[in-house]
Amino acid sequence: MNLNLFHDVPKGLTLRARSFIRAHGVKVDCLQVEQYRERWVALGIPSTEIDRVAVYQERWGGLVLPPAPQYDGGPRYLGVDTPEGSITEGWWFEAGTQRTAVPYAFMIGPAGEFGIHAGDWVPLHASIEGWVESLALADHAAMWAKQITKVTGDELDDIALGDYEPVREVMGLADTWWRGTDSLVAIYTGEAECLSFPAGRTARIYSGLDEWGLRGGVAEGDS
């Protein structure tokens, strides 16, 4: 497997996420979609769905990033496999191979969501960009926080988010980030929903942050 620096950073990300990819991202060789198009069409996969897979692979295929705080680190690298689904249900395709033996797959959903699939489909972020933004923010927050507190299960109900604002760039669905005056809160409910395991809900509270720690010098929505 060839390993190269990932210089061609996809557009549409914040400066923080772009800097994260440039600093930590590498590129590995990956599947070329056009080599499989004829075979996939023969399996009944619509050409429009194959086009969607090809666009994803061109943009993200082969990108290796540091492990995520949850989901046993997330995908080992981003890359596709044969689409799954139907015309009535919609189509999913693999977002990237697992880093460890987790009981679910990382998938891109019918509307472009990034999530996990294990019989039940749980979208974590509205797009792969949201997932990458969440990785970048977790890396940044861990570097600058004076304290990191992990909370699980019913303890999440005691987190008061009334004075917090959602971090919009992560495009959170099952997983969300919240910004306060001196702290960031990451809430992960994807595994709990997908595996019907409420005790698996997890939050990480990054406290003691100054303005740089809260935003990384990036205005919300900057891209």
Give pLDDT tens digits for 11-37: 889 999 999 999 999 999 888 999 999
What tens digit of pLDDT does each residue of 92-131 get? 999 999 999 999 999 999 999 999 999 899 999 999 999 9
Query: Beta strands of 83-201 (E only): which ranges?
Result: 84-86, 90-98, 105-108, 114-118, 120-125, 147-152, 165-166, 175-179, 183-188
Look at the alpha carbons of 137, 94, 121, 128 in this order and tell me if their dihedral is positive or negative. Answer: positive
> What pLDDT shows up at residue 9?
80
Residue 5 pLDDT class (50, 70, 90 cuts): low
- C-alpha 82/C-alpha 57 separation (Å) is 12
- Is this structure's pTM higher than 0.75? yes
- The span from the CA of 171 to the CA of 164, in Å, is 16
